[in-house]
Structure 1
Amino acid sequence: MKKIALAGLVAVALTTACNQTKTSENATAANGTTAADSTKGINGLFASFWERQSRLDPLSATAQGDNRYNHLLPNDQTQAFRDTLSTFYQDYLTRLGKFDRAKLDENDKISYDIFQYDLKQRVAGLKLNTWMIPFQQFWGLPISMGQYGSGQGNQPFKTVQDYDNWLGRVQGFTVWADSAIGNFRRGMKAGVVLPKALVVKMLPQMRAADMQVTDPTKSLFYGPINTFPKDFSDADKQRLTEAYKKAILTQVVPTYKKMGDFLANEYLPKSRATSGINAVPGGPEIYRYYVGYWTTTEKTPAEIHALGLREVARLRAEMERMKTELGFKGTLRQFFESLKTNPKAMPFKTAEEVLAGFRKIQATIDPNLKKMFGRTPKTPFEIRRTEAFREASASAEYNQGSPDGTRPGIFYVPLPKPAEYNVTQGMESLFLHEAIPGHHYQISLQQENTSLPKFRQFAGYGAMTEGWALYCESLGKELGLYKDPYQYIGALSDEMLRAVRLVVDTGLHTGQMTREQAIDYMLDNTPDNRENDTAAIERYMAIPGQALAYKIGQLKIQELRARYEKQLGSKFSLSNFHDELLKDGVMPLSVLETKMNAWAAKQK
């Protein structure tokens, strides 16, 4: 999954009021005028929108390499902020409607369609009561603060001003936390609360050893002090060191303690035993919204559930074939269990050996990538082990680089038990998805395309973003991978996981499945263990609909490729197809299909 760096999923973050924004200064910027307003034409409208949004969503601006608002962490947990957003979005929808779409050029028509779709989604999302759940165990500001403030993430720590900027964000965090607790309490009264199983997972995050410290030098947030740039003066180092120690002990630690105590003492007893969002007031409507948001389609939960069952059956048949090919005589479940202890599937002893294995995959596919892609990113790429403070509950993920290339794209791999790292979990397919050519190519090429309006340059649509990454897994054999049967089983398992998600996500959030039933279904159809399947199901419980994006998007891209291969015959170029697919950034699937059909017509 692409790391929510928060840029890639700005739309959902804003509509659910889960990214961090608003001061009176920002409200003025949102409702007032900016220099961009003087630019005429539809691209002037887009530029104006982006300027205002960047101030409203400063964490995403930081992730995108816009450092003007690195000191801001406004409070997005207020009704006033949600009202500001609603007025902001509706105003730009009205302005957009004044343009005659038929008179726009082809690229501007794409921009028009995406912009209209996006703003309508945001306005609709603000009408939901999801603001009563400010964060959960998978994402939200308490987790983002650790990633930004560690000195290893999106927040830059290169200048004295950078260090002072972070202190401003810490100040904002204390205010945000009080309002978030207030919203949780509103949810408790209304019955809009998280499942108990998720709240239990949030408690250790608030009380982690490097969060709840008495010695500030042991804090995760002391990291930047340990890596001062060499050109800092002794006076600046001393001042900042004392300021960070004070901020950690008087602001950061008390804030995390306050949230942890609230969750344990007040919220946990009021959390719910049910698993799906359908169980809260307005839940069915919330889920329908998220299904549409994440898939960018009008498919119903029932249609997606049925599609998932068909895909699971197809992939089970291929897994049965591989089981037979390897000479295993038992059931598929027994085959899965045998893989967990098979030494051929666990060749590593140390974390460094696992990381070296991923670097070998990168070297293997590199020659074949040149045949499949005419355009490749300029953004640097790195493979890193996930930070210790979140490694135990994290998934492998991609964190985008900055558009100017000063911050690399990073493929994070959690390795709490490296000797147990099993390639049948999908090592090669994981790299293709999260790293190259999956998220790194798609996101970097999009960010590097400065000819796109900013709202497209930094857009994130789950169905195309994750659909592309899952499609890239299917390129494994063409790229020289999946020659090892255990790695191929891993690839099948990864795709099976995405098919299973269609079943369990819709099952959970329409009340057809409990948490326990969903975990058992995953165990029946994938080779993972109960611990990991439990974490996966709890992720789907926390983020309704997100897990649907992968398979829905992949199937659409595969459908388009097959269509054009048949239509164009010898005129079809896979490299050109991939370049066209990626060059204009991600977009809703219906807009993508229209664009690609126009491209195919020109190839004839």
Structure 2
Amino acid sequence: MQTTRSYCLLTISAALLCACGTRQEQQGSSAAAADSLHHIVDRYYDEKMQLFPIEATFNGEHQYDGTLNIDISQSFRQHEDSVETRYLQQLQGVDTAALTPNDRISYDMLYRELSMAKEGLQFHDDLMPIHQFWGLTLTLAQLGSGTSAQPFKTADDYHKFMQRMKSFAAWADTAIANMRKGMATGYVLPKALVVKVIPQLKDLSKKDTGNIFYSPLKTMPAGTDTALQTAYRQTIEQDVLPAYDRLRTFMEKEYLPKARTTSGIGGVPDGKAYYAYLIKYWTTTNSTPEEIFNTGQQEVARIRKEMEEVKNSTGFKGDLPAFFEFVRNDPQFKIFKTPAQVLDSFKAIENKIMPGVKRIYGHLPKTGFEIRQTEAFRAASASAEYIQGSADGSRPGAFYVPILDAKKFSYVGMESLFLHEAIPGHHFQISLQQENDSLPKFRRFSWIGAYGEGYALYCESLGKELGLYTNPYMYFGRLSDEIHRAIRLVVDVGMHAKGWSREEALKYMLDNEPASEAEAIAEIERYMAIPGQALSYKTGELKIRELRKKYEQQLGSQFSLKDFHDELLRDGCVPLSVLEQKMKRKFEK
């Protein structure tokens, strides 16, 4: 006869066996879900590199260096859509409840990337494939310089880029055909942008050894066959230069007369819906244009108040617009004579901040870093920018500075600019992300503007903690850069959703920051070319500042800025909602 005690023991044993079995089943389920997801994200990354070989080159995936897909063709876009549909279907088979937090981030990010890319194909950016700010016409020239991501170390490297140059001729013809379709449907660039594109195309079509495409001929490996030199030169002169010239002629003769007079994307047939999509894409939020516009106005008012305080601290007697004019034009702020002096001054900022950076960041990138002058062919329409290095460290990250005239280059904004574009801004964030081999490749090389640009703008606020902004004019430069990003919320929405003209946007910008007219024009035309992108900076920065303030208040003396920054950067680019959740897991245990 079974006793009560033995029955209880048997019951407990059965329960333990059941629990153990349940745990094993759960572990098996988790492992299966993770394994399934890992296979999907790895295959997706490989297939994406085949689809977008230029992106692969920048990512250090050099097996596609000889390829240039005609990504603006209808057949390519149909194929891209089918690829994205296939991976979305595969993700539906993953048990998300069984994923680890990091794998759930991967799942959510891949789902978002595929969904957004698929949704974007409904719109017609392929009918406006060229503008003055970025795109293949400029990227190919950067790659062809011999100093960018495209390697030129072996004869095979040169042959690969020759293939790309030949493919570009086909891309250019497709671009012309697409733009003719756009002319027929009202899907065209604003005139103000077209007149900036034409000189770029003209410069890149010149049969002149000063043309950047000839640069790799000067650095061919020792003992290179003269036949390769001849073939490379012929490819430039028979394929690339004529393609750029065809584009220039078309843009000048046919396209310019048909370009639109409106400034915002609302001027194209589906512009309102397209702008709503671009807001969602660039900010990773569901904010409406009106909400963004109002936030921008509030931030402009707040920063103007602090600007007034800084102005008064200098003893300046005029109003804020007069102080803008003073900071813009007074000779005391123009201390350089040569581009080299400008670059050396940025290097001095780097040396000054590094001890402080090491105090508030636990993890520093291994990737090297350089400061370079922006190439002449694109400097007139360029902003300062960071170009990522390679994940293996063979190519350093580069901070590019456009210097049209060193004698007119103001030192006022240099400190905040360096913090944003270089250290600890883009160089740290992008390099640490690429170096993190615990992330799947599609995350190591992903870019989400609200996070990436928001973080870089947040870095500008670290200046005082890093020993900068000791000069009130330098701090005013930091405020000028911050209000510049707040102004973007107003003028971007103003042009693209409220029907503002280029001139109205210019006036608002010049009324609220000490930019020169030339700088303001370049900026406003940038927003005209890439609607919504300018919204990402302030949107992301406000979220990061909100999170830091929250955990400083919650944790008090236990708050570690070093831990906050390391966690902020640990998982690379993520949508803002994902960022909020992962910071919560870390600091609200």
Moved more, 156-165 or 438-447: 156-165
- Give CA deviations for 1:547-596 in whole Å, capped at 9, x if unaligned: 00000000000000011111111221110110011011111100111111
Measure the CA separation in 2 of the matches of 1:74 and 1:417. Answer: 38
Cα deviation, residue 40, structure 1: 4.5
Contact 1:137–1:542 (8 Å) recurs in 2: yes
Tell me, yes or no, if the aligned pair for 2:194 and 2:251 is still in contact at 8 Å: yes
Matched, 1:228 2:215: no
Aligned counterpart, 1:303: 291
Show the counterpart of 1:156.
151
Q: Deviations over 1:402-442 (max 9, x none)?
A: 00000000001111110111123x11000000000000000
2:338 is the counterpart of 1:343: no
CA-atom RMSD in angstroms:
1.1
Deviation of residue 195 (structure 1)? 0.4
Corresponding position of 1:205: 200
Q: Which runs of 4+ in 1 moved over 6 A?
A: none
| Alignment partner of 1:534 is 2:521 | yes
Deviation sequence 1:531-556 (CA, Å, 0-9, x none): 11011100000000000000000000
**What secondary structure does 1:382 align onto?**
strand
- Residue of 557, 564, 583 corresponding to 2:551: 564
Q: Check if 1:214 corresponds to 2:207.
A: yes
Change (3 A) 1:344 1:218: closer
What do the CA deviations read for 1:40-98 (whole angstroms, capped 9, x no partner)? Answer: 42111100101111111100000010100000012112111111111101110110110
Q: In structure 1, what is the Cα distance between the partners aligned to 2:315 and 2:35?
A: 68
Aligned-partner residue type, residue 180 of structure 1: A
- Corresponding residue SS for 1:251: helix
Residue 551 (structure 1) aligned to one of 530, 538, 541? 538
Q: Is contact 1:434-1:469 (8 Å) kept? A: yes
Q: Which amino acid aligns with 2:206?
A: V
Gaps of 5+ in 1: 1-38
Measure the CA separation in 1 of the matches of 2:519 and 2:151: 33
Report 1:459-478 matches (<5 A).
459-478=446-465
Map residues 265-280 of structure 1 onto 2, 5 A cutoff: 265-280=253-268
TM-score by length of 1: 0.91
The answer to whether structure 1 residue 185 and structure 2 residue 180 are counterparts is yes
The aligned counterpart of 2:139 is 144
Supply the AA of the counterpart residue of 1:583: R
Distance 2:587 2:183 in 1: 53
Q: Are 2:109 and 1:121 equivalent residues in the alignment?
A: no
**Contact persistence 1:219–1:248 (CA under 8 A):** no
Match of 1:109?
104
Instruction: State how 1:573-584 maps to structure 2 within 5 Å.
Output: 573-584=560-571
Which is higher, the Rg of structure 1 or of structure 2? 2
3-state DSSP of counterpart to 2:493: helix
SS across alignment from 1:398: strand
TM-score, with length taken from structure 2:
0.93
Give the structure 2 partner of residue 246 of structure 1.
234
1:597 aligns with 2:584: yes
Other-structure match for 2:22? none
- What is the one-letter code of the residue matched to 1:484? N
Q: Deviations over 1:495-528 (max 9, x none)?
A: 0100000000000001341100000000000101
Taking the aligned partners of 1:313 and 1:214, their CA distance within structure 2 comes to 51
The Cα offsets for residues 271-318 of structure 1, whole Å up to 9 and x where unpaired, read as 000111011100000000001100000000100000000000001111
In structure 2, runs of 5+ residues without a counterpart are: 1-33
Whole-angstrom distance in 2 between the partners of 1:445 and 1:158: 26
- State whether structure 2 residue 127 is matched by structure 1 residue 135: no
Q: Residues 170 and 247 of structure 1 are in contact (CA less than 8 Å); yes or no, is this contact kept in structure 2? A: yes
Q: Distance in 2 between matches of 1:147 and 1:161?
A: 19
Contact 1:423 1:486 in 2 (8 A): no
The SS at the match of 2:395 is coil
Select between 54-63 and 387-396 the one with higher mean Cα deviation. Answer: 387-396
- Paired AA for residue 242 in structure 1: T
Q: Classify the secondary structure of the residue corresponding to 2:400.
A: strand
Give the % identical residues: 52
Is 1:435 paired with 2:422? yes
Residue by residue over 1:113-146, the C-alpha shift from the partner in whole angstroms, topping out at 9 and shown as x without a partner, is: 1111111111110111222111211111111111
Number of aligned positions between the proteins:
556
Q: Give the superposition deviation at 1:152.
A: 1.2
CA contact (8 A) 2:266 2:499 kept: no
Q: What residue is the counterpart of 1:359 in the other structure?
A: 347
**Residue 585 (structure 1) aligns with:** 572
1:415 aligns with 2:412: no
* Cα distance between partner residues in 2 of 1:279 and 1:219: 36
Q: What is the DSSP-based 3-state SS (H/G/I as helix, E as strand, rest coil) of the residue aligned with 1:229? A: coil
Kept in 2, the 8 Å contact 1:279–1:511? The answer is: no
1:480-499 to 2 correspondences below 5 Å = 480-499=467-486
Note if contact 1:196-1:273 (Cα within 8 Å) is conserved in structure 2. Answer: yes
Q: Secondary structure at the match of 2:153?
A: coil
Instruction: Indicate the residue corresponding to 1:325 in structure 2.
Output: 313
Report the Cα distance in structure 1 between the residues aligned to 2:292 and 2:361, rounded to whole angstroms. Answer: 32
C-alpha separation between the residues in 2 aligned to 1:454 and 1:190?
Answer: 39
